Amino acid sequence: MNEEATRRRATVHDVAKAAGVSLATVDRVLNGRSGVRAATAEKVEEAIVRLGFSRDLNASLMARARDLKVVFFIPDGSNEFMDSLAEAVARRSMLALSDRMHLSTRRIRALDAGSLAAGLDALDPRDCDCAVIVTSEEPEILAAVDSATRRGIAVMTLVSDLPGSARKHFIGVDNVAAGRTAASLLGRFLPQGGKVAVIAGSLHLRDHLDRLHGFREVLARDFSALELIGPLEGHDERAETQALVAKLLTDHPDLAGIYNLGAGNMGLVTALEAVHNQTSPRVIAHELSASTRAGLVSGAIDVVLDQNPDGEIREAIAAARALALGAGRHVATDPIEIGIFLRDNLR
Amino acid sequence: MNEEATRRRATVHDVAKAAGVSLATVDRVLNGRSGVRAATAEKVEEAIVRLGFSRDLNASLMARARDLKVVFFIPDGSNEFMDSLAEAVARRSMLALSDRMHLSTRRIRALDAGSLAAGLDALDPRDCDCAVIVTSEEPEILAAVDSATRRGIAVMTLVSDLPGSARKHFIGVDNVAAGRTAASLLGRFLPQGGKVAVIAGSLHLRDHLDRLHGFREVLARDFSALELIGPLEGHDERAETQALVAKLLTDHPDLAGIYNLGAGNMGLVTALEAVHNQTSPRVIAHELSASTRAGLVSGAIDVVLDQNPDGEIREAIAAARALALGAGRHVATDPIEIGIFLRDNLR
DNA sequence: TCAGAATTGAGGTACGTGCCTCATGACCTA
DNA sequence: TAGGTCATGAGGCACGTACCTCAATTCTGA
């Protein structure tokens, strides 16, 4: 019964009245049109703050007869995780359309900074309000992000951040926590201690390094009975990872655990299933995919840590809307939680 | 470059043209007003399907100068999980308002079917488009749900479903999968086997039974070295659970694991911390709360399975919007995933 | 066949915002 | 002081839908 909240939201009319100016002037201020004296603009800004006015995004999009356009740049190649990001975008496209958002996806060559930078440079602000990119840290891309931002396109980073750039927001998991979680689980799986091997894709990738860091930290702190082997580098390649794991199993018949913190899970599962038996090591891998699902079901993999691509896309869309109405404001999104999957809670 | 999707969404005007009727007639059909011959209505319905028309919810709410009103009925009492549901609603209220949704919460006495039924009966369709309820299965409530539905209020169940009622949608986790996951983790934590105790709140609660069922299933199938003790009933009470756990630890000094599938976690943690040492059992509990967080940090609890109240509220809000535009249609929401938390991935 | 009822159409106003034109007045400069 | 620029106001139309009134038409029954 309390706070019935019958008070309407403030509109542009309210702002005009409160600032003692006309609707046209408020409109000029709100949409950054010229021809307003600094003193007048100030009055309007003050009224906006005082009334807590926020543009009605839906009415705004409707008036412009225009959808909010978001372009996702997602690496192409054989990376199943990137595919599931693209699928998540596709899955939400229809629903987003009914909120006047138009989502589109551009697949770019993986690790090809030039092509991503070119894609960003080619964006026309009339065709794109917000660009969402998955990228590694390259000066070339940093420059392209800053340029797009200057042209009025909000840029958001997904999965991996681009610190020092003009990107408006970052959406991704805490990879250090992911590594810690892997260690915490493996440690509990192996109360009697033993050898644990760590396989990374590349020690030049920020997310892989973060996971390794978290893993080592918890292993050292809580599970001194575990002996770390590696990190080895499988370069996220199926064949290379498979050979690596096969050699590991041969060289260390008593291997107690494996943490594959990179991709290349298809090779991992193949090598494990070749020798699967009761004394097989406990295995933790990253990202739910056809390969890792199969590994969970067959028992080759015990746990998969998942970045929740669908949730990341959901939050990216929400953030794009938020960015659309507060040009400079800070945008808050729900944190993306690391999903932990066993055979028994597979979706 | 493909499918540029320049085609506008269909509007009421398009429907009118396609059906060969006037705007007014389309309006009458869409909003269930009287005075339309069956044959004419049919033509309109057909055009709607053919064009794939769907009402623009934002424009619709704007035209009516009305927010979409959603009322959450959440049990009161000392249940931390219910509190976090209410907090999630409060946290999203502001944001929802900018999408023309007005959220409100009514706390009702826990397990008091009469008071929930009365609350539903008192709802006026002008003040509530959608009611979201957390309830147990009682005939009284079933009747109230059906009555509210007849009055034009969409009812949705949260956390626990009400099968056989007219509720339009259910949002909650798969509790059988949660139980299976607990067994799968405990089994891996205890490769050498041992005694595992199960504590439920009440064996009359559907969600507790589901968890128990999943737990037993996986224990029997995969971990025959584990001996099940219980299920014991702690009635989700702090003191009772504490006494129960203390007695368990005394009676079974070699206890290897505990799965508390109900509430009463404060008592659980207190009892465990009193005797915490290296040989303490592995412990899995449900729902992130102040108590279980403390247990994770102190090491008294190894894993917490969480129902993700925030995600449940998020999906409930999305479902309420979807229900608002398709009165009878089926509504799809993202499945709520069981969160698995260790000390090392605490949010 | 005609009154009366039921059905349908036409068109207006409103919601909150964007964008446009035109008019008014203030101020500046030559 | 005339001509110009700049700042501001007033108002209209549009977006997609809801809801209203007032005809105009069709149908029904006696």
Residues A257 and A222 in one domain: yes
Q: What sign for the dihedral angle of Cα B180, B181, B183, B188?
A: positive
| Residue A187 in tokens | 């440690």
Host domain of residue A37: 12-54
- Residues 32-91 in B having a C-beta less than 7 A from any atom of strand D are 53, 55-56, 59-60, 62-64
Please name the helix (run of DSSP H) or strand (run of DSSP E) that holds residue A324, with its range, or none.
helix A309-325
Is there contact between B94 and strand C, defined as CB under 7 Å from any strand atom?
no
Considering the domain boundaries, does residue A74 fall inside one? Answer: yes
Place of tokens 């368990």: B248
Q: How many domains does chain B have?
A: 3
Residues B331 and B301 in one domain: no
Residues A142 and A119 in one domain: yes
Least confident of A54-68, B89-103, B268-282: B268-282
Residues A185 and A115 in one domain: no
Report the C-alpha gap between B69 and B184 in whole angstroms: 42
Considering the domain boundaries, does residue B347 fall inside one? Answer: no
CB atoms within 10 A of CB B318: 17
Three-state DSSP at B189 gives helix
Considering the domain boundaries, does residue B49 fall inside one? Answer: yes
CB atoms within 10 A of CB A125: 11
Give B152-203 pLDDT, tens digit per residue: 999 999 998 999 999 999 999 999 999 999 999 999 999 999 999 999 988 8
Q: Could you tell me the CATH number of the domain that includes residue A19? A: 1.10.260.40
CA proximity to B129, closest of B313, B317, B314? B317
Q: Which residues of chain A lie closer than 8 angstroms to B340, CB-CB? A: 339-340, 345
Place of tokens 């009463």: B264
Residues A166 and A314 in one domain: yes
Residues A46 and A73 in one domain: no
**Contact criterion met (CB < 8 Å) for A334 and B185:** no
**Contact criterion met (CB < 8 Å) for B191 and A188:** no
Q: Could you tell me the CATH number of the domain that includes residue B107? A: 3.40.50.2300
Give B249-259 pLDDT, tens digit per residue: 999 999 999 99
User: Residues A108, A122: contact at Cβ < 8 Å?
Assistant: no
Three-state DSSP at B149 gives helix
Report the C-alpha gap between B96 and B68 in whole angstroms: 10
Report the C-alpha gap between B186 and A188 in whole angstroms: 9
Report the C-alpha gap between B299 and B322 in whole angstroms: 43
Residues A214 and A271 in one domain: yes
The residues with which B69 forms a beta bridge, in sequence order, are B102
First-to-last CA distance in chain B?
A: 40
CB atoms within 10 A of CB B291: 23
pLDDT in tens, chain A (347 residues): 333 345 678 999 999 999 999 999 999 999 988 888 889 999 999 999 999 999 999 999 999 999 999 999 999 977 889 999 999 999 999 999 999 999 999 999 987 899 999 999 999 998 999 999 999 889 999 999 999 999 999 999 999 899 999 999 999 999 999 999 999 999 999 999 999 999 998 888 888 999 999 999 999 999 999 999 979 998 888 899 999 999 999 999 999 999 999 888 999 999 998 887 767 899 999 999 999 999 999 999 999 999 999 999 999 999 999 999 875 667 888 889 899 999 999 97
| HEC assignment per residue over A109-163 | CCCCHHHHHHHHHCCCCCCCCEEEECCCCCHHHHHHHHHHHHCCCEEEEECCCCC
Q: According to the model, what pLDDT value does residue B5 have?
A: 44
Considering the domain boundaries, does residue A322 fall inside one? Answer: yes
Residues B140 and B234 in one domain: no
**Contact criterion met (CB < 8 Å) for B102 and A5:** yes
> How far apart, in Å, are the Cα atoms of A15 and each of A58, A209, B94, B203?
18, 50, 20, 58
Residues B288 and B260 in one domain: yes
Residues B144 and B129 in one domain: yes
| Angle subtended at Cα B23 by Cα B20 and Cα B25, rounded to the nearest 5 degrees | 80
